[in-house]
Structure 1
Amino acid sequence: MPSPTIILVHGAFADAASWAPVTRELLDRGHTVIVPPVYNRSLADDAASIRAVAEAVDGPVVLAGHSYGGAVVTVAGAAENVVGLVFVAGYVLEEGESLGQLQGGFPDSDLAANLVYTPYPIAGVDDGTDVSVKIDAFPPVFAEGVDPGTAAVLAVSQRPLSGAAFGEPASVAAWKTTPGWGIVSADDHTINPDVERFGYERAGLRGVVELPAPHLVMHTHPADVADVIETAVRETAGERD
């Protein structure tokens, strides 16, 4: 069985560039990597999009999701050829649970007071609501520890998340049948780290690493993140022979 292809799934308020340091690290280590866009319109649609990317791979896949991307891979990971899940400062939902329900059980992070709500048109129905981070708050809340020049670029190039996605329940929890690993960002100001710890423990992940890192741990600790993903690749290789 070939070594799994790694698919890196970004979260809200970000795009594939949020994974760039880890992408470079994994490519340098000889892995096959795909970093597709997540459209951040709805959990079901985003998961279906990522699942389609995974199913187009001829061979096994490890999905790694950051932040909201964790919720996406929770659902998309039900694809038959997905052999491992990695949650990076991510949400791990139970079947039937929404982001809002999971977050609601814990004190708010600094993110809650620094969100911007902007209407966007949807053909034939009422406008939707895009949620983004205040540009001046983005560096300390979302990108603390990241090079200031890079953080400034990321702040003005956010991919907002549709507000509807916060209340949408997960249709499936792939971690129930697929092994998973997790990274807790202990200095996270975007997601309360206890939300990460709770989700990982509930899912019974095979391995959890806690790093003294901010939300964009992929920028501040790329080698550590790559190590966890590589562990998932190594431990799942051949498990579905």
Structure 2
Amino acid sequence: MAFSRRQFSALGAGVAAATLSGAPAAGAATRSSRPAVRNVVLVHGAYADGSSWAKVIPLLQAAGMNVTAVQNPLTSLADDVAATNFALARQDGPTILVAHSYGGTVISETGLAPNVTGLVYVAARAPEAGEDYAALAAKFPTPAVTAGIVTSGGFKWIGRSAFLKDFANGVPRKEALVLYAAQGLLSTAPPTTSVAAWHRKPSWYAVSKDDRTIDPELERFMAHRMNATTIEVDSGHLSLVTHPEAITRLILRAAANS
């Protein structure tokens, strides 16, 4: 569903009173109810690039936010952290840092930047400092996409069938094929964080209830562990593509309350 400019003005004004389900509250726009934070930095996950935020970006911009989408090289966690820190350094004030999937590892490492006021995790990893994420994930059911992951030359990616069926479940096939063509290859080097910024910054989490890439129960575990304000979306792993309005509302709520 597309939002008109008038509808999105109301969304931006009423987001401070939004419910946990993400529904915007009704009410006239007032200066005090506007989000105090105007900057949003978006961090994409593995097997993707910054274009995965293409449906969320215009909704945030229509709500008056300044948006930067990081292009992670995915060559190592250190390289992705550097790219995100560079994006954060270019912001002119308080900033909400948002991540999808593997990008959650990146913002857990970079989220202590002084201009970051809150963290939003979208079906994302949220590791503890020094935690072996693979060992944590092994305590939960193996997601379906795992069987389709290909490893070669120090990188891994998702084969076409698994990408369409499991990584992009719920995305129209034509659109999923475009995402498949643009997928980024992820380094096989273990991405271990030295800090967990969510201990010190307020956090929000969007669980994908039909996720076949990260087990939904693992998402709930991580969200609960970080004491995040949590919503659940009837979506596969790519809720930012299939449910951009819900994800946008969560980001705006974070901006209004951090």
With the length of structure 1 as denominator, give the TM-score of the two structures.
0.89
Per-residue CA distance 1:90-109 (angstroms, 9 max, x = gap): 01110111331221221210
The offset of 1:222, in angstroms, is: 0.5
Give yes or no for the alignment of 1:38 onto 2:72. yes
Aligned amino acid, residue 166 of structure 2: V
| Matches of 1:98 and 1:56, distance apart in 2 | 31
Give yes or no for the alignment of 1:91 onto 2:135. no
After the TM superposition, which residues 86-165 of structure 1 pair with which residues of structure 2 at under 5 Å, given as runs? 86-119=120-153, 129-164=154-189
Contact 2:105 2:191 in 1 (8 A): no
Percent sequence identity is: 38
The offset of 1:160, in angstroms, is: 1.0
**Superposition CA RMSD, Å:** 1.3
1:170 corresponds, among 152, 173, 193, to 193
Shift in CA distance, 52/182, structure 1 to aligned 2, threshold 3 Å:
same
Per-residue CA distance 1:115-142 (angstroms, 9 max, x = gap): 01121xxxxxxxxx11100012211111
| Matches of 1:46 and 1:233, distance apart in 2 | 23
| Matches of 1:68 and 1:79, distance apart in 2 | 19
Runs of 4+ that moved beyond 2 A: 1-4
| Matches of 1:69 and 1:98, distance apart in 2 | 16
1:186 corresponds, among 200, 206, 209, to 209
Aligned amino acid, residue 138 of structure 2: G
Task: State the partner residue of 2:252.
Answer: 230
| 2:207 alignment partner, SS class | strand
The offset of 1:194, in angstroms, is: 1.2
Task: State the partner residue of 2:29.
Answer: none
Unaligned 5+ runs, structure 1:
120-128, 237-241
| Matches of 1:45 and 1:219, distance apart in 2 | 25
2:93 corresponds, among 48, 59, 71, to 59
The offset of 1:27, in angstroms, is: 1.2
Task: State the partner residue of 2:231.
Answer: 209
Give yes or no for the alignment of 1:9 onto 2:55. no
| Matches of 1:109 and 1:2, distance apart in 2 | 38
Unaligned 5+ runs, structure 2:
1-34
Per-residue CA distance 1:141-197 (angstroms, 9 max, x = gap): 111111211101111221011011xx2321100011100000000000111111111
The offset of 1:2, in angstroms, is: 5.8
| Matches of 2:225 and 2:96, distance apart in 1 | 20
| Matches of 1:196 and 1:43, distance apart in 2 | 21
User: Number of paired residues?
Assistant: 224
| Matches of 1:223 and 1:34, distance apart in 2 | 18
The offset of 1:217, in angstroms, is: 0.2
| Matches of 2:186 and 2:224, distance apart in 1 | 26
| Matches of 1:98 and 1:168, distance apart in 2 | 8
